[in-house]
Amino acid sequence: MGEGNVQVTADCKTPANIASALANSICVKKTNASIVKLLILGFFAGAYIAFGAALATLVGHDAAKFVGVGLAKFIIGGVFSVGLMLVVIAGAELFTGNNLMVMSALDGKVPFGRVAYKWAVVYMANFIGAVFLAWLMFQTNLWEGHGGAIGAFAVKIANAKVNLTFSEAFFRGIGCNWLVCLAVWMAIASRDVIGKIGAIFFPIMAFVALGFEHCIANMYFVPLGIFLKGTASASAAGLDLSNLTWQAFAIKNLVPVTLGNVVGGAVFVAALYWVVYVKPEKA
C-alpha cells in the first residue's frame, strides 16, 4: 500500500516523515554522538543481539522435530527478534541499523568520512559485546543442556557459517540488512512500544527464517562455536570443524557478510528512500 493510501494518525508517521526525520535529525545526532557514548551503547547492542541469538539457539535445537522445518524457522526467527527489540526500545547503537546514517550524508548534513568513522566505532563495540556474551554463555555451561544437544546445535550453526562461499555470504548479507533496516524504519513510524514490537518482529523473523546473514549476530554464533571446539558437544555434532577458526570467521564470513549488510541497508533502504522522499523536497 502506497503512502497516499495510508490514513495518517497521531500514532503513525508516513514514509516521508520517517525519511525526513532520519536525514535531518536522528542520523545527524547519531553521527555527532561522543565516542564514549557510542562505545557503551555499541557494547549493549552487540550483547542484545547476542541474547536473541542465544535464545534462538536454545529454541531451535529441537524445534524441527515437533513442528517441522518451516515452522521451526519461523519460531527461531520470532524469538531472535527480541535482540533488535532491546536495541530499539531499550536503546543501543547497532552497526547494521546505523547504515541508515547514509541518509544524512547524502543530504549534506554530515560528511561521509564521519559516518564511516562512527560506523567503525560502533562495529568494534558491537563485536566486543557479542563476543563477551558468547564467552559468558560458554562459561554458564547451559549449552550442556539436553545431553549436550544445545551445544551441538550451536557448533552446527557456527560451522555452517564459516563454510559459506564469499558470494553466498555476501548476498545473504544484502537480504538480511535490507529487512533489518526496514524493521528499524517501521519502528520509527510507531510512537508506542507495542507498535515498535510489531514493526520489528516480522522483518527480523523473515530474515532469520529465510537464512540470511547478519554480521553482528554472527559475532555471537561463530565465536560460541569456536569456544565449544574440543567439547563433547562439538564431537557429538560429527562435523569437520577445520574451518571453525577465528581466521576463517573473519575472512569467510565476517568480511562478505558485513559488505552485504552495508549494501542491503545503506543502498537498498537509506540511499533509495533518500532519493524518493528527501532529494525531491530539497530540489
Q: Is residue 190 part of a domain?
A: yes
Q: Does residue 252 register a pLDDT over 80? A: yes
Q: Is residue 7 part of a domain?
A: no
The CA dihedral of 117, 121, 190, 281, to the nearest 10 degrees, is 0
- Its domain, for residue 137, covers 13-278
pLDDT at 5: 38
Cβ atoms < 10 Å from Cβ of 61: 22
Cell of 9: 494518525
Q: Is residue 145 part of a domain?
A: yes
Residue matched to cell numbers 508517521: 13
Q: Is residue 3 part of a domain?
A: no
Q: What is the mean pLDDT of residues 227-236?
A: 93
pLDDT at 7: 41
Q: What is the mean pLDDT of residues 41-57?
A: 98
Quote the mean pLDDT of the chain: 94
What single-letter DSSP state applies at residue 32? T
Residue matched to cell numbers 554464533: 221
Q: How many domains does the chain have?
A: 1
* 161: CATH: 1.20.1080.10
pLDDT at 8: 39
pTM for the full model?
0.93
Q: Is residue 82 part of a domain?
A: yes
Cβ atoms < 10 Å from Cβ of 123: 22
Cα separations (Å) of 186 from 97, 181, 201, 231? 12, 9, 11, 42
Cα separations (Å) of 74 from 32, 67, 80, 194, 210? 38, 10, 10, 20, 9
Q: Does residue 9 register a pLDDT over 80? A: no
Q: Is residue 4 part of a domain?
A: no
The model's pLDDT over 158-186, given as tens digits with 9 standing for 90+, comes to: 999 999 999 999 999 999 999 999 999 99
Backbone angles phi, psi at 12, to 5 degrees: -140, 130
Q: Is residue 5 part of a domain?
A: no
Cβ atoms < 10 Å from Cβ of 195: 15
